[in-house]
Amino acid sequence: MPLVHRTQQPVSGSGWRGMADGSGSGGVSPVSPAGRLWHLGQMDLLAASAGINVLSLAMPLVLLQVYDRIVPNEAFSTLMLMVAGVIVALVLEGVLTVMRARLSAWSGARFEHTLGVGAVERLLTIDLAQFERTGAGVHLDRMTALGTVRDLYAGQGALALADLPFAILFLGLIAWLAGWLVLVPLVLLVVFGVIAWWTGRELRKRIHAGAIEDERRFNFILEVLAGIHTVKALGMETLMLRRYERLIDGCGRADFRTQVWNGESSNLSMVVASVTLVAMAAFGAAMVINGSLTVGGLAACSLLASRCTQPIQRALSLWVRLQSIRVAETKAQALFADEPDRPVDLPPLAPGDGSIAMDRVSFRYLEGGPWVLKDLDLHIKPGEAVGITGEAGSGKTTLLWLLMGLLQPTGGRLQINGQDPRAHSRRELSRHIAYLPQQAVMFEGTILDNIAMFREGDWRAEAVRAARMVGLDHVIGRLPQGWYTRVGTGAIEALPRGITQRIAIARALVDRPRILLFDAANMALDSRGDEIVRELMSLLKGKLTMVLVTQRPSLLRVADRVLKLEGGGLVPAPLPSPPPPPVKTTTRRTITLPGAPAGAAKGAVAAGGGRSGAPGPVQTEVSS
């Protein structure tokens, strides 16, 4: 059974609270924040909590009757009935407790599923420039924080809040049975509440400091894992270890201070429970001696005080934990703060001819930063192949990312098929525009999964067709598991980079795009792979629009024209000269047949080779 029922509509910009209560447009039934408990199964938790707390009154009431009526009157038949009733109440309370625990676990799973899916969807739909401003470790830390938020809305925090109103019921019964004795638990709980409030404030400061240290540590770990080959090649293991030791030292100190304050709050909670029981016994005994309270009333009030302090203690402990939850909430809010790069309900890009038009397009990554592109003009006709060269860092990849819609122009106008790409769905835009990156990225799965982009059905046949276009079928046929060879994390090194690059090229061709953006995707290919790619580009020329970013003359010769990106703009560049024809060389060799006298070669050549049939030197010519 699925955790939640979701439609195909992506999450809109309603924020993480909208996802938590279902008010976002992510396919979860929309409710108001006041109705959040119902749609996450929390109304069932409230009903179970009510039953548990009402049934818990059975024991104090029975003790009251036993000490005050049954024992003095020796009413054994009444005692048996009360014992039977208490047993039934305890069994029902146990059943409800188990059911509530299962409901809490299920509610928490639904909450985390809904919020987790919404968070990943938000990460996948935010603008690329916004995504890259924050380190990957920070995003990972924010995702981890969702589990902490879950504890408040659908975990033990929710159970503590559900039990809290019934503490008033227990205090009211104590006041009804013993009058002013109710002040004993009230005063102690107020004192505990003040101390817990102060502890929570101090704890929040330390948790916030620890969160900053954790973000730095996550970023460092991801950087090291991503560049592990470079670290080992340069012998930087010791240096990286020293850096991590400094980071983990800061994290350890922050965690130590946090745990100390957490431990103090927990110890204080146990002390308050013990002091409450002792104080109730002491003051209650004085009332019994004075005749203002019966022994049964004292026993019942002691049990009621114990039951009363439990939910209040959990609630006040929740207040202490709330400091870490608030930090986690801040992280969750930051995760949902970045709006999607475009609305989710945009129409698909209408089929077109593959034309590209850029008029005075400018772009820079940061406000006030240097211009990567400035007043750039580019017009490409349908089916035209344009080669683009330029120095490293001149903005060639940025230009391609603008064309495919990953980045938005800072200024100017960009049109694909005569339409503004920002006014159309990104998914449909990617079906019209294929991007071939410099370095292939393989996802965990099989070769066929990666080419078909994990789609089933007819897409598998399309994947095989695209693989044949780049000559992968012969290579895959020699692998032990063929199309089902595992690639991705940990397995990608089993395949040469040239093969993984061809897999990426085949993946880009599966959707039969109208525009092909080639970002030096042949850099990792060997001579045979480069030849296959060049032949493929020649075959596709005229059938789709191509923008070829490369420095290799062999591929630039496929282009109809070549442009150079410099100073943020494009200037015409000459087409590479065709390769010179192979030079024909003639090698003269003189071979002396067996029986020819020494030194006869020169005379034989001068005489035209000697008499017919006589052994002598033979002159041959070999052309190459």
Q: Say whether pLDDT at 605 is over 60.
A: no
Task: Give the pair of three-digit tokens for residue 418.
Answer: 């005569």
Please determine, for residue 437, whether its predicted confidence score (pLDDT) is greater than 80.
yes
The model's confidence at residue 386, banded by pLDDT at 50, 70 and 90, is very high
Please name every residue paired with 571 in a beta bridge, in sequence order, or none if there are none: 564
Contact (CB, 8 A) for 373 and 398: yes
Q: What is the pLDDT of residue 23?
A: 46
**Mean pLDDT, residues 575-587:** 66
CB-count exposure of residue 585 (10 Å: 0-12, 13-18, 19+): exposed
Q: Is the predicted pLDDT of residue 30 greater than 50, yes or no?
A: no
Amino acid 489: pLDDT: 63
Mean pLDDT of 496-525: 83
pLDDT at 91: 92
Looking at residue 135, its pLDDT comes to: 64
Rounded Cα distance between 550 and 558, Å, is: 11
Residue 337: pLDDT band (50, 70, 90) is confident
Whole-number percent of the chain with pLDDT over 70: 77
With tokens 């290919």, the residue in question is 525
How far CA 169 is from CA of 163, 164, 185, 252, 456, in Å, comes to 11, 10, 13, 44, 59
- The least confident of 83-97, 143-157, 372-386 is 143-157
Residues present in the chain in total: 624
Give the helix ranges, DSSP H, for 470-570. Answer: 472-477, 497-509, 527-540, 553-556
CA distance 541 to 519: 16
Q: Provide the CATH number for the domain formed by 15-337 in this structure.
A: 1.20.1560.10
Cα dihedral: 200, 205, 210, 211 (round 10): 90
What pLDDT does 327 receive?
73
* Percentage above 90 pLDDT, the chain: 5
Q: Is the pLDDT of residue 458 over 80?
A: yes
Please, what sign has the CA dihedral across residues 429, 430, 433, 439?
A: positive
User: Is residue 405 within 8 Å of residue 414, measured between CB atoms?
Assistant: no
pLDDT band (50, 70, 90) for residue 350: low
pLDDT at 609 exceeding the cut of 50:
no
Q: What is the mean pLDDT of residues 85-102?
A: 88
Read off the tokens for 342: 């475009």
Question: Does residue 426 contact residue 407 with C-beta atoms inside 8 Å?
Answer: no
- Give mean pLDDT, residues 330-352: 69
For the chain, the domains span 15-337, 356-573, 586-607+614-623
Most confident of the following: 131-140, 230-239, 379-388: 379-388
For the record, the structure tokens of 258 come out as 């946090």
More confident: 93 or 527: 93
Among 190-204, 370-384, 391-405, 409-423, the least confident range: 190-204
H helix runs in 366-509, sequence order = 396-403, 426-432, 447-452, 458-469, 472-477, 497-509
Helix (H) or strand (E) holding 259: helix 237-290
Q: What separation, in Å, do the N-terminal and C-terminal C-alpha atoms of the chain show?
A: 74
Residues 6+ apart with CB under 8 A from 139: 123, 131, 335
Give the pLDDT of residue 460: 86
**Backbone phi and psi for residue 265, each to the nearest 5 degrees, phi listed first:** -65, -40
CB-based contacts of 230, cutoff 8 Å, min separation 6: 236
261, two tokens? 């304050």
Q: What is the mean pLDDT of the chain?
A: 76
**Arithmetic mean of pLDDT, 579-607:** 53
**Identity of residue 354:** G
Average pLDDT on 519-528 reads 76
pLDDT at 5 over 50: no
What pLDDT score was predicted for residue 561? 92
Distance CA(134)–CA(242), nearest Å, equals 24
pLDDT tens-digit series, residues 465-484: 888 888 888 888 888 888 88
Say whether pLDDT at 89 is over 80: yes
Averaged pLDDT for residues 109-123: 79
pLDDT confidence tier of residue 593, bands split at 50, 70 and 90: low
User: CA distances (Å), 72 to each of 60, 62, 298, 303, in order?
Assistant: 18, 14, 16, 21
Among 82-86, 306-310, 385-389, 612-616, whose mean pLDDT is lowest?
Answer: 612-616
- Give 13's DSSP letter: S
Q: Does residue 384 have a pLDDT over 80?
A: yes
Residue 409 predicted with pLDDT over 80: yes
Q: Give me the mean pLDDT over the 71-93 stretch.
A: 85
- For the ranges 52-61, 94-103, 259-268, 577-586, which has the lowest average pLDDT? 577-586
The mean-pLDDT minimum among 140-154, 372-386, 500-514 falls in 140-154
- Beta carbons of 388 and 570 less than 8 angstroms apart: yes
Is 5 or 251 the better-scoring residue by pLDDT?
Answer: 251
Q: Which CATH code for domain 356-573?
A: 3.40.50.300
**In one letter, which amino acid is 92?**
L
Question: Please, which pLDDT band fits residue 293 given cuts at 50, 70 and 90?
Answer: confident
User: What digits encode the pLDDT tens for the residues 554-571?
Assistant: 888 889 999 999 888 888
Listing DSSP states for 211-226 in one string gives: HHHHHHHHHHHHHHHH
Neighbour-count burial of 481, counting CB atoms closer than 10 A to its CB (0-12 exposed, 13-18 middle, 19+ buried): exposed
